[in-house]
Amino acid sequence: GAVVSQHPSWVICKSGTSVKIECRSLDFQATTMFWYRQFPKQSLMLMATSNEGSKATYEQGVEKDKFLINHASLTLSTLTVTSAHPEDSSFYICSARRTGAYEQYFGPGTRLTVT
């Protein structure tokens, strides 16, 4: 149990376009999901905390108008990178915390390349 999926696993888009990444908890309900960003050879940096039915909480320095997060159900959160630029190219990883539990379970990540 506790499987988290992400879609797509990789995406290439042109500068100026928007890209949506989905994060799903497949076999459990997740009130809270988290979105991370990871640059090559670096650690994970938390971007935002996504709570079902409410607005996401963004970390300092993360533009909320650029990285739109929606958590419309207990099993799905989406991250939309708006007006993507090459500097947004990165590995985006989500995690989900089972309702009432402590541990986070991570998705396999989405590699975004903006050309």
Query: What's CA 5's distance to the chain center, in Å?
Result: 11
* Residue of 1, 41, 61, 100 interacting with another protein (CB under 8 A): 41
Residue closer to another protein (CB basis): 1 or 82: 1
Q: What percentage of the chain's residues is helix, strand, coil (to nearest 5)?
A: 5, 55, 40
Question: Is residue 63 packed enough to be buried (19+ CB in 10 Å), middle (13-18) or exposed (0-12)?
Answer: exposed
- How many Å apart are CA 107 and CA 5, to the nearest integer? 5
Q: CB 43 → another protein: shortest distance, Å?
A: 4
Residue 44 binding another protein, by CB under 8 A: yes
Q: CB 34 → another protein: shortest distance, Å?
A: 7
Tokens at 104, concatenated: 């986070």
* Residue of 57, 70, 80, 89 interacting with another protein (CB under 8 A): 57
Binding site for another protein (CB under 8 A): 4, 32, 34, 41-46, 49, 57, 91, 93, 95, 97, 102-109, 111
